[in-house]
Structure 1
Amino acid sequence: MLRNINEIIGYELLIEGKSVGNCKDLLFDDDCWTIRYLLADTGKWLFDKKVLISPLMISNPDWSARIINLNISKEQLEDCPSQTVDEPVSREYEEKINQFFGYPSYWSSNGLWGHAAFPTDLSISLASEFDEDIPNLLKLMIDEKNHLRSFKKVKGYSINALNGDIGHLEDIIVDDQTWALRYIVVDTRNWFPGGKKVMLSLNWVEAISWLNSNFSVNLSKEKIKESPEFDPGKPIKSKYEKRLYEYYGRPVDGQINKELQQKIGKKRS
């Protein structure tokens, strides 16, 4: 099912039925456009540590109750490799987390989750298959820069249409099975009197400037202005998605196009 990230922020995190904190942000990578971590607020318990929750740690979320159950122990969360709150999440730190929990690296292959399409399929039992290669592979992989972005920092980016600014990024829509990002939500109210929120496929994004904090889409202002309105309070159903693609005359896409990822990567600044 599709969910908006604004909704997930604030969800309670439970281990064995007991609260260990809340989700305060989500980190996605801008190569595969997939959520890699939930950033937890654990209150006074681990107040000086950056606590990252991988989707591999999540089991049976109760979306209606705004609860995310974790399949790790409180001791594991407390003892896992840590960074201070202000340190950036490096690839080396990610690998330390994987080694601690016995997870394969999501960047080890070309799928959304390494060799798999779902985090649940990236079985921890497969971690041993990578052990022999780790000394050699990590010399290359750890030196690579990861592409993690904070949703809260990206929220508010300006959205540029083909013929001018159209609004700002208000939300991002994620698939709650794969944790892949699917759509951006644009708020047009500051650009058009009586404006509205609209949903646009990430496949319609042509370029991103992280330096200038903007997304460029291959649509006109006029077309976006008349787009079907997005209501964040309602579930995103296939009927609405179909209506959206029909309005723009675009083919329905169930995932982010690989060529698009490469194109955005080349135009990334």
Structure 2
Amino acid sequence: MLFFTSELKTYNIHAADGVMGKVKDLYFDDEKWAIRYAIVDTRKWLPGRRVLLSPSSFITLNENDKHLEVEYDKEKVRNSPSISEESAVSKDVEDSLIGYYGWSRYWTGNMLWGSNDRPLAQFPPAEEPQPEVFDQQLEAQSQYNLRSEDETIEFKVHADDGKIGTVADMVFDSEYWKLRYLVVQDSETYTKEQYFVYHTDQIESVDWFERDIYIKGTLAETKNVTKYNSKDMILTSISRSNRP
């Protein structure tokens, strides 16, 4: 199913022994645009810690009750590698989390989730790679950078010959946890809601420093698509268009 990332950040996260907190942000990689971690606001029970959970630890996304269920209890999360709220999520941090939880190394192999193609699959314990394999993994890992969904909202979106608008939301699928679409508010109609939707495959390049996203095509071509006067019908519309 398709969901807005903004909606996911209103969901509670349910550990095996109770509510853990809410989704505070999402980190995605800038190569395949897959959500690699949910950042959890753990509130008072685990202050001063940044908790990252891979989608491979998710069990269900409950749309009716607005919660995301994970397979761990709070003690498992409490004993995970400590990441301060101020520190960056470095490659060493990722490796420590993967080693602790046994998640798949998503940057290996040709599939979206490394050697496993489904983040919701139950992964076997990670095996210690041989030295030459480990070197290859490090080289592949260096090609990926994690980006914040929260910080990407309001990036300027451009066609080849002008500005289209700004990122208002993103759409992901709950099977592969990949960002599929950008929801862009038209720059000419800030006094009222009007949105365009672009598949992430249409992205030509991103300037992460200047906060600019470039979509393939001219302004005339990129605006010659369905316009939405509210976000309410976007998911229904694109879900219908993706049916066989």
For the Cα contact (< 8 Å) 2:104–2:115, is it kept in 1?
A: no
Q: How far 1:109 sits from its partner (Å)?
A: 1.4
TM-score (norm 2): 0.88
Structure 2 partner of 1:157: 155
| CA distance, structure 1, for counterparts of residue 17 and residue 65 of structure 2 | 13
What CA distance in whole angstroms lies between the structure 1 residues aligned with 2:204 and 2:146? 19
Cα separation, 2, equivalents of 1:126 and 1:234: 42
**Aligned match of 2:188:** 191
What secondary structure is seen at the aligned counterpart in 1 of 2:43? coil
Q: How far apart in 2 are the matches of 1:72 and 1:96? A: 17
Q: 1:131 aligns with which of 128, 131, 137?
A: 128
CA deviation after TM superposition for structure 1 residue 115, in Å: 1.8
Supply the AA of the counterpart residue of 1:125: P
Change (3 A) 1:137 1:81: farther
Quote how far apart the aligned CAs of 1:204 are.
Answer: 1.5
Unaligned runs of 5+ in 1: 243-251, 255-269
Equivalences for residues 27-106 of structure 1 within 5 A: 27-106=27-106
TM-superposed deviation, 1:233: 2.4
Does the CA-based 8 Å contact 1:4-1:232 persist in structure 2? no
The structure whose residues are more often strand, as a share, is 2
Q: Which amino acid counterpart does residue 183 of structure 2 have in structure 1?
A: V
Higher helix share: 1
Residue 180, structure 1, aligned to residue 178, structure 2: yes
Deviations 1:33-53 (A, max 9, x none): 100000000112222111001
Contact 1:30 1:149 in 2 (8 A): yes
Identity of aligned residues (%): 25
1:92 aligns to what SS in structure 2?
helix
Offset of residue 237 of structure 1: 3.6
Q: What letter is aligned with 2:30?
A: D
The residue aligned with 2:166 is 168
Question: Which amino acid in structure 1 is aligned with residue 43 of structure 2?
Answer: G
Counterpart residue number, 1:233? 232
* 1:47–1:137 Cα change, 3 Å: farther
Tell me the C-alpha RMSD between the 2 structures: 2.4
In structure 1, what is the Cα distance between the partners aligned to 2:73 and 2:204?
42
Offset from partner CA, 1:196-226 (integer Å, 9 cap, x none): 1111111221111112111111233234445
How many equivalent pairs are there? 240
1:200 and 2:198 equivalent? yes
Give the direction of change, closer, same or farther, for the CA distance of 1:126–1:34 in structure 2 (3 Å limit). same
Q: 1:132 & 1:198 partners in 2: Cα distance? A: 45
Deviation at 1:153, TM superposition (A): 0.8
Structure 2: any 5+ residue segments left out of the alignment? none
Q: Shift of the alpha carbon at 1:232?
A: 2.5
Distance of 2:14 and 2:39 partners within structure 1: 14
Counterpart CA distance in 2 for 1:238 and 1:195 is: 17
TM norm structure 1: 0.81
Are residues 203 and 235 of structure 1, via their aligned partners in 2, closer, same or farther at CA, if it must alter by over 3 Å? Answer: closer
Q: For 1:196 and 1:238, locate their aligned partners in 2 and report how far apart those are by CA, in whole Å.
A: 15
Q: CA deviation at 1:239?
A: 6.1
**Deviation (angstroms), 1:137:** 3.9
